[in-house]
Chain A
Amino acid sequence: MGRYAVRRSLTIIPVLLGVSVLVFSFIHLIPGDPALTMLGERATPEKVEEVRRHLGLDRPIPEQYLIYLGKIVRGDLGISIVRGDPVLTDLLRRFPATVELATAAIFLALLFGIPIGIVSAVWRNSLVDSFSRVWALAGVSMPIFWLGLMLAWFFGVQLRWLPTGFRLDTGTAFEPWTNFVILDAALQGNWAVLRDALRHLILPAVALATIPLAVIARMTRASMLEVLSQEYIRTAEAKGLPQAAVILRHALRNALLPVLTVVGLQVGHLLAGAILTETIFSWPGIGLWVYESIESRDYAIVQGASLFIAVIFVVVNLVTDVLYAAIDPRIKYD
């Protein structure tokens, strides 16, 4: 198990190097002169040259890459081209908002996805199953953008139950400690802010949870069906165990293994989905920030954030694999 973890960890080095090459290439792969793109209609040739020099685009590409790699190894993700702030500082300040949203979304996805999957598998081809399969299919194919707008319109404009965006109401006096607003409000015992923060979290979390929820439900169903047809289940049933015990104690535990992998992979989708969800709900996390930076052609931020997201994705999947090995002793590196 220990050896597996070490060897599995080593494999992420080439992956991360590959990611760094890809992220670095962004600026060269995008059509058009990045300097001109940034300056827009009013660019003068001198200005374009100046920006090119400023970005180091006048040097040979391999040299640019090595300089870039050297910097990221030292934790320097560069300086925002538009605002002049260090990318890493901004990234760390915005990250808690995204983590808060993604955690809420994955929590919702698991909370509803797994039971729906179980129910569908146990009462296969029943009305419940058909409904949940259609629903899961719709969930997977739902454009988050549209869903987000509809949720905001229905619960914000029509019913006026929930706010249509942001983490807190405007003008709320609150000094967060860690920028995890919910955690901070709870730690400070500020229940009004906690309630406000939770109300703001609901719609974006539901929108972001839709796809992972559907995927998890489908995966749980498929995995449960497979496990339920195994002989040991029949044995358990034959022993006269109550159905709930058979399903929850014997079947579910084994069925959840593949689901765990899917959850790990969903983290990547959550981070990608966060770009849309955060934009729709003006949620001040990394997603909104990346979206704005793409629009304003702030390559330093797009590069820094992409690299960061890729690292998180790789690390989460590493952790998932190691956990998998911990749960299932049969897994080892051959």
Chain B
Amino acid sequence: MRHRTFALLVSLLLLGLADSAPAQTFVFGAQGEPVQLDPAVITDGISSRITRQIYDSLVKYKGATTEVEPALAEKWEVSADGKVWTFHLRKNVKFHDGNPLDATSVLWNFERWWKSAHSQHENQVKAGQTFEYWEAQFGGFDDKSIVEKVEAVGSHTVRITLKAPQAPFLANLAMFVFDIASPKAVEKWGTEFGKHPVGTGAFKFVEWKPNQEVILEANPDYWGVKPKVKRVVLRNIKDNSQRLVALKAGEIHGMEGLNPDDVKVVRSDPNLQILLRPTNTTGYIAFNYKVKEFQDKRVRLAFAHAINKRAIVDALYGGTGLVASQFQPPSLWGYNKELKDFEWSPAKAQALLKQAGFAQGLSEITWEDGKREPLVFWYMSRSRPYFPNPKEIGEAMAADLAKAGIKVQLQTAEWAVYLDKRKNGQLPVYMLGWTGDNGDPDNFICYFFCSPGAPREGFYSNKPLADLLLRAQSLTRQAERARLYRQAEQMLQEDVGRLFIANNQPPLAFSKKVKGYVTNPTGSEHFNTVEVQ
């Protein structure tokens, strides 16, 4: 044994990993250390990238879309009133610890997420962990939740009754947080389960070396597409440039978190390829409606005509950005294809300003309480997928605005302060954005526009829009909902309620040897289809 290990190591040393890495292993460069591997309590992409390989949910996102298809549940029915969902589980599925997946184990998982008195819920909360996404997607815990009851009505049939229909119900269930864990394993490890994850997924957990890597191995009994590699290693490489160096050196096969400037570098390397994740993120400029000038639609429209989005996207998104005409990105089924974007025209912007009484341009604002101050445009201090270079993008927009006679002062603050000020409605005009959780338009648009007058949304109030969105939320037929979301986008645009600047398609880089990696807008990507040639 020792000789074999020795021989293997020597050959690794001699040949370098690039040439010798057995195609049986897929090494992925992760952006950092996972928080933990219990899907129910995590919220970050680094951890969920790993848990998605180990666990399955009842339903999953189909390929590169946000449409939902069967997973652990092979089929389901919903009652006419949209409140009772019956899921028929796949038979002969086993957790990695050998225990069978059945209705009881699914019921157990739901109760753990939902009931605060459940022993494995209570101990997590005591340890400082919360079931944050359950609370967010299903209205809260215990009686507060939209879930009325969950029952095992047969060995492989689960019935979930809701208090009211919830349109994004299936999309919610496909989220990584609602992956089904082995009840026996959770009970065995308690709050340490996140270090000893057990699911039904395509890969089994092998080892987690802190600050280094997580190792998984193929589950030969997987119910779905059998994994094409024997092992998956997720290496933690914090720095974006260094991760690319490791990819170029052949030490890893794929990575995410590419600097916008490096996209070109990867594209020009004959050994590498770029895959774009369908966009699920939108950057915007929000107005504060306590500022008198912004209460005038002509002023908002002047902003819309002044900013040259195309130039910003071309110059500052590394070729992976898209011009946004509306809030929802094109990958969402509520996207309005008919909607035309504002034309870029500084002359039009100037004319509008003139009409609004600012013939000399706009450089000062008046708050509702009469306080006057210079017009400050706030840009983010932290890079986000929707604004990968917030400072440069802010500067470009300020330059565009200046050409139309709107003179802004650029300002930023430490991220926490920025969010704090935004939450309290203290920023006159600012950059921010959103990345969707579950591919449902409700998750994108309702969060912002369903509560009119909220300080965090700059006191924007559009009651008809909010009513429309709430109606869309209560329906279950997708076609009907899609129509309402398209209408909502149009209303938002007609009112120039907010300016949507760009969507981004986060780039992933791979060695050309990698085939079969399917990107998904939600970032839920399964490695079982990945081959390394």
Contact = CB atoms under 8 A, between A and B. Distances in A.
A164 B16 contact: no
Dominant secondary structure at the B interface: mixed
A220 to B, nearest CB: 33
A229 interface: no
Contacts of A148: 242
Interface stretch (A3-11, A193-201, A240-248, A309-317): A193-201
A25 interface: no
Interface in B241-263: 241-242, 245-246, 248-251
Contacts of B16: 160
Contacts of B235: 166, 170, 282
A163 B251 contact: yes
A199 B128 CA distance: 41
B245 A157 contact: yes
Nearest to B421: A32
A314 B438 CA distance: 51
Contacts of B249: 152, 156-157, 160, 163-164
Contacts of B215: 171
Contacts of A172: 9
A153 B246 CA distance: 9
Interface in B364-382: none
Contacts of B129: 84
Contacts of B209: 284
Interface in B185-232: 191, 209-213, 215, 231
Interface stretch (B354-362, B389-397, B408-416): B408-416
A329 to B, nearest CB: 46
Contacts of A195: 13
A195 B10 CA distance: 9
Contact of A30 (B6, B251, B414): B414
Given A84-B191, A160-B249, A284 B35 contact: no
A30 B377 CA distance: 23
B92 interface: no
Contact of A289 (B12, B191, B211): B211
Contact of B414 (A31, A43, A160): A31
A67 interface: no
B242 A164 contact: yes
Interface string B12-35: 110011100000010100001101
B469 interface: no
Contacts of A234: none
Interface string A138-177: 0000000000110011001100100111110111110000
B9 A292 contact: no
B267 interface: no
B241 A169 contact: no
Interface in A13-67: 30-34, 36-37, 40-43, 47, 54
A199 B419 contact: no
B242 A40 contact: no
Contacts of A93: 210
A282 B236 contact: yes
A149 B12 contact: no
B233 interface: yes
- A-side interface size class: 35 or more
Contact of A41 (B12, B25, B419): B419
A104 B420 CA distance: 45
A76 interface: no
A287 to B, nearest CB: 10
Interface string B35-68: 1100000000000000000000000000000000
Contacts of A54: 128
Contacts of A171: 25, 215, 231, 233
A74 interface: no
Given A160-B16, A196-B13, A32 B416 contact: yes
B6 A288 contact: no
Interface string B298-320: 00000000000000000000000
A164 B132 CA distance: 38
B479 interface: no
- Best-surrounded residue of A79, A199, A284 (most CB of chain B within 10 A): A284
A166 B212 contact: yes
Contacts of A292: 32-33, 211, 238
A208 B17 CA distance: 25
Contact of B415 (A32, A281, A285, A289): A32
Interface string A259-294: 000000000000000000001111011001101100
A169 B241 CA distance: 19
B66 to A, nearest CB: 19
A82 interface: yes
Interface in B93-137: 127-129, 132, 136
A260 to B, nearest CB: 33
A172 B27 CA distance: 13
A164 B9 contact: no
B322 interface: no
Nearest to B252: A170
Nearest to A145: B239
A47 B129 CA distance: 12
Closest 10 CB pairs of A and B: A32-B416, A37-B416, A284-B211, A192-B9, A32-B417, A156-B249, A157-B248, A31-B414, A157-B249, A152-B245
Interface of B: 5-6, 9-10, 12-13, 16-18, 25, 27, 32-33, 35-36, 127-129, 132, 136, 191, 209-213, 215, 231, 233, 235-239, 241-242, 245-246, 248-251, 413-417, 419-420, 423, 432
Given A33-B416, A292-B211, 20 more contacts: A36-B420, A40-B419, A41-B419, A41-B432, A43-B423, A54-B128, A79-B128, A83-B35, A84-B127, A152-B242, A157-B248, A170-B17, A170-B27, A196-B13, A280-B239, A280-B242, A282-B237, A284-B209, A292-B32, A292-B33
17 contacts: A31-B416, A36-B419, A37-B419, A47-B132, A84-B36, A84-B127, A149-B242, A156-B246, A156-B251, A164-B246, A165-B242, A192-B13, A280-B239, A281-B242, A282-B235, A284-B210, A284-B211
Interface of A: 30-34, 36-37, 40-43, 47, 54, 79, 81-84, 90, 93-94, 148-149, 152-153, 156-157, 160, 163-167, 169-173, 192-193, 195-196, 199, 279-282, 284-285, 288-289, 291-292, 295
